[in-house]
Structure 1
Amino acid sequence: MTSDRVDADIIVIGLSPAGMMAARNASRGDAKVTVIDRKEEPGIPPHPANTFFRAMIDRAGEEIDERYVIHNLRGARIVAPSGSSVVVESPGYFIDRTMFDKIYAKKLQEEGVDIRMGIEAYNVIRGQNSFTVSTSEGSLSSKIVIISDGINSKMASLLGMRPVKHPQDIAWAMEAEVNADGIGSQDLFEYYVGSIAPGWKSTYSPCGGDRATLGVYVRRNGTDVSSFFDRWVDKFKKDKGISDLEVGERKTGGDPIATIPSQVVTDGVMITGGAAGQSGIGYGMRSGQMCGDVAAEAIKKGNVSADFLSEYKKRWNREFRSEYYLGRLALETLRKMEDDEINSLMETFEDQDISDIKGSPIQKALHTGSIMLKKNPGSILSMRSIFRRK
C-alpha cells in the first residue's frame, strides 16, 4: 500500500484486558483506534480467566468495580502434597468475566475507540507506509497493528515473530464450575502444588454459595491435561469429604506465566498480553497501557519503526523484567522438585506470616531465603533441583 490514507491510526486485534488497555491509552494519546474481535459481543462466551488479586489490579492503577465482583476473598492457601499449607493474606476476587469485559468495552467506546465485534482477523499484510488487516468482513488499514489475540498468537506467527522465549512452558489448563452445598462460601483460594499438577498448580476458587471452580495448570506434559483434571477432582472430593460434587462443562486454555516476553515489537507491530507472555489480568492490563502509550507517541512523531516502538519493551523491562525472571526461576525449581522436597520446603513456612514480605522482587527473594536459612537450613538444598536436567 502506497497511500497514507488509513482507516485508523492503530488497529488492535483482540479485545483482551491488555488489548483494551492498549486501545484506551492510545486513544487518550489522540490516536484514532479500532479494535476488532471475533466474538459477537464482549465477554460472550466468557474467557476462563476469572480471578485476580487486588495488588495486581493496583499495578495497573485501576479501580475495582463491584458490578463485576461475585465473591471477595482474603487471600490464598498454598497446599503441599502432604497437606501442610501456608496462607498468604492478599485481597482477591472471583469475577463475572462477561460483566468485566462489557464494562471495559463500554469505557473504551466512551473514550472514542471504535469497537467492531464478530470480525475475525485472517492476516496482516505489510505495505510501504501502512498495514492491511485482512478480516472476515473485508480489509482495514492502519499505521500500527497491536496484537493481543492470546497465547500461541496466530497473528504473531503469520508475521514471523517469536513473542515469547519459552513457548514450551505454557501451562495448559482445564477448568470447570462445580456445585455442592456451601462449596463457594470460604474466603481463600486454594492452590495445590506438586505432582498433582506438574510445573504449576491445581486450583480451588470459591465463588460464593454452592459454586466454585476447579482447575489444573500443567507444564511440559502436552496440551491435553484432562487426566490431571480428573485426578484433581477425585482428590478434591476425597479431601473435602464431598460425594455429590456436580461438575459442569470443562473449559480449556493456557497460562503463559513462565514463558517470558521476547520479540514484542517490529516495524509497525506491537504485541501485548498473553500473546506476549504477559500473564494475568492485572499484569496484562498494565502491559497494555505501556503498549498503548508508546503507540500513541509513535503516531504523533510519525515514527513507527521497531527502534521507536522498542520503548514499550524498555518500559516493561524496567517494571516487570526482574519479577518475571524470578518467577520463572521459582516455577522451574518447583517443576523439578519431588513431592517430598516440596513438603519439606512448605514446612519451613507453615507458621510464618509471609504476607508482609515487601520490596522489590530481589528483596522479596532475599527475605524468603533468609527465612529458610533461619528456620530450616536444610530446605535450601531443595533449591538445587533447578540444576536437574528434567
Structure 2
Amino acid sequence: MDADVLIIGASPAGLMAAREASTGGADVILIDKKPGMDVSPHPANTFFKTMFDKTGEDVDQNYVIKNLKGAHIISPTGNRVTVESIGYFIDRTKFDMYYAAQVRNAGVDIRMGVEAYNVIKSGNTFTVSTSKGPLKTKIVIAADGINSNIAQLLGLKTVKHPEDIAWAMEAEIESDGIGNPDMFEYYLGSVAPGWKSTYSPCGNNRATIGVYVRRHGIDVSEFFDNWLEKFKSIKGLDDLKIINKKTGGDPIACIPNQIVSDGIMVVGGAAGQSGIGYGMRAGQIAGNVAADALLKGDVSKRVLSQYRKVWNSEFRTEYYLGRIALETLRKMDDHEIDEMMKNFEGQDLSFIKGSPFNQAMQIGMFLLQNNPKALLSYKALLRNK
C-alpha cells in the first residue's frame, strides 16, 4: 500500500478530509492536478460566519480581505431586504494555503501536479492510475469538484439533480471606491435565472461581480455580459476595468445522492455539497469516518455509511428546504419576485438567525403573521416548468 487513504482533490473539503483522517492515525496521500496550492481556479471566495461555524474552525484574519456586515437581497425593480449576518471576502489562495499548512503539519503527503486518470478495485485494494504513476490505497475520497471524474469512473451518481447546477461566471473589477461598501448585494430575477447575480466589495477600488444561473447551460457569458451592463447602470459607472474572470459551478440545489460505496466516499462539490463551510464540514466527517473504519479493519460501505448518516443529521433538512426555495424562485417571474419582496421591505429582520432551516421557518412564520396572502406566491413551486 502507498497509503491507507488517498484523497483526490485539494479542495477545502479534501483538505479537511486529509487532516482529520491523518489526525485519526491513517497514512494519507492527497493529490491534486493543480501545479501548486497557490493556484486557485475556482471563483468561490466568500462565506458567512453562520455557515462556517459548522466546521468548528476559527476565521483567521490573515486570509480575510474584507469583513462584511451582511447582504442586501434585491428584487428586479429594486425592492431590497437587508439581512445582517457577518460575512467575509477572502483571498482564496491564502485560504487554501492556510489549511494546506495544517494538513502537512498533520503528516499528510500532499502531491501537487498529479492528475488521477482511473480507479481500479481488486479485492479490498484500489489502484489509482495517475500522471506520476499508480498509487495503491484502502480508501479513496473523491474531492475533485463539481465535475468529479473519479465519481463518474466509479459509477456513482453523486447528485440527484445534476441539471440544477448553478453555472457561474465571476469577474474581479476595478473602479474608484467600488470596494468600500460593507454589504454583499444579491440580485434576484431574470438577470440570473434560477439563482442570483452578485456584487461583493473587497475593499478600496476592487470588487467582484458574478452570475449564478440554473438550467441555461454551462456557458453563462451572455448573462454575465447583461449583468455587467446593468450593474454599471445601477452604480452609475462609466469607467470600470475587468481584472480577470473565472468560471465554475455551484451545486446548491442538486441534493447529494450516492456519496458512499465500498472503500469510497465523495465530499464537497463532487458530492453536491454547496458552500465552503458545508463542504469542509463534510470533509471533516469523512476523514473521521475513514480513520475509524481503518481502526476497525472494515472499509465496507456499511461502515463508511456512518459518513452519510452524520451528514444527513446535520444538513439534509437544510439542503431540501434550500432546493424547495430555489425551485420556487426559478419558477417565479420578475413581477412575482417583486411582490414577494415587498412584504419584507423596511422590516426589521434581525430576528432571522440560526441554520438555513431555522431561518426558513422564521421567514414563513413572518409571512403567515403579517401577510398570509404572500404565501400564495409559493404556488409557483407547483408549476410544471
Q: Give the TM-score taking structure 1 as reference length.
A: 0.97
- How does 1:358-373 map onto structure 2 within 5 Å? 358=353, 361-373=356-368
- Asked if 1:291 is matched to 2:286, the reply is yes
Once the two structures are superposed, the pairs formed by residues 228-377 of structure 1 within 5 Å of their partners are 228-358=223-353, 361-377=356-372
The one of 347, 358, 382 aligned to 2:377: 382
Please say if residues 161 and 254 of structure 2, whose CA atoms lie closer than 8 Å, have aligned partners that are also in contact: yes
How far apart in 1 are the matches of 2:190 and 2:355?
30
User: Is the CA contact (8 Å cut-off) linking 1:190 and 1:204 kept in structure 2?
Assistant: yes
Aligned-residue Cα RMSD (Å) equals 1.1
Cα shift readout 1:175-224 (whole Å, capped 9, x = no counterpart): 11111100000000000011110000000000000000010000001111
Distance 1:362 1:44 in 2: 35
User: What's the CA shift for 1:46?
Assistant: 4.2
* 2:2 counterpart residue number: 7
How far did 1:232 drift? Answer: 0.3
**What CA distance in whole angstroms lies between the structure 1 residues aligned with 2:171 and 2:356?**
33
Counterparts of 1:185-200 in structure 2, within 5 Å, are 185-200=180-195
Question: Could you tell me how far apart the structure 2 residues matched to 1:370 and 1:101 are?
Answer: 39
Equivalent-residue separation in structure 2 for 1:151 and 1:363 (angstroms): 27
Equivalent residue for 1:72, pick from 54, 67, 73? 67
Check the 8 A contact 1:23/1:35 in 2, yes or no.
Answer: yes
Q: Which runs of 5+ in 2 are unaligned?
A: none
**Mean Cα deviation higher: 277-286 or 363-372:** 363-372
The code of the aligned residue for 2:69 comes to R
Is 2:119 the counterpart of 1:141? no
Q: What is the CA–CA distance in structure 2 between the aligned matches of 1:357 and 1:283, rounded to whole Å?
A: 20
Given that residues 322 and 361 in structure 1 are in contact (C-alpha distance below 8 angstroms), is that contact kept between their aligned partners in structure 2? no
What residue identity is the alignment partner of 1:267?
A: D
* SS across alignment from 2:291: helix
- Partner residue in 2 for 1:164: 159
Indicate if the aligned counterparts of 2:76 and 2:188 stay in contact, CA closer than 8 A: yes
Query: What's 1:34 paired with?
Result: 29
Residue among 98, 105, 113 paired with 2:108: 113
| Contact 1:272/1:278, CA 8 A, preserved across alignment | yes
> Which residue number in structure 2 is paired with residue 3 of structure 1?
none
Say which SS state the counterpart of residue 66 (structure 1) adopts: coil
Partners of 1:340 and 1:292 lie apart in 2 by 46
- Deviation by residue 1:118-146 (Cα, 9 ceiling, x = unmatched): 10000111111210110000011100000
2:17 is the counterpart of 1:16:
no
Contact 1:14–1:148 (8 Å) recurs in 2? yes
Q: Secondary structure at the match of 1:216?
A: strand
Letter of the aligned partner of 2:129 in structure 1? S
Shift of 1:104: 0.7
Q: Which residue does the alignment assign to 2:76?
A: 81
Cα shift at 1:378: 2.2
Percent identity for Structure 1 against Structure 2: 62
Report deviation, 1:38: 0.7
The counterpart of 1:177, out of the listed 167, 172, 176, is 172
Give a deviation string over 1:2-37, Cα, whole Å, max 9, x none.
Answer: xxxx01000000000000000111111101100000
Contact 1:202 1:214 in 2 (8 A): yes
1:353 Cα offset (Å): 2.5
Paired residues of 2:45 and 2:90 also in contact (CA < 8 A): yes
Secondary structure in 2 matching 1:310 = helix
Q: Distance in 2 between matches of 1:389 and 1:180?
A: 43
Contact 1:148 1:272 survives alignment (8 Å):
yes
Larger displacement relative to structure 2 (362-371 or 270-279): 362-371
SS at match of 2:62: helix
The one of 91, 96, 100 equivalent to 1:101 is 96
- CA drift of 1:341 comes to 0.8
Give the drift of 1:356: 2.2
- Amino acid in structure 2 at the alignment position of 1:235: K
Q: Which runs of 5+ in 1 are unaligned?
A: 1-5
111-120 vs 366-375, which moves further: 366-375
Contact conserved, 2:42 with 2:246, CA < 8 A, in 1? Answer: no
CA distance, structure 2, for counterparts of residue 358 and residue 53 of structure 1: 12
Return the alpha-carbon distance in structure 1 between the equivalents of residues 348 and 190 of structure 2: 25
For 2:6, the aligned partner's letter is I
Measured after TM superposition, the shift of residue 359 of structure 1 is: 5.0
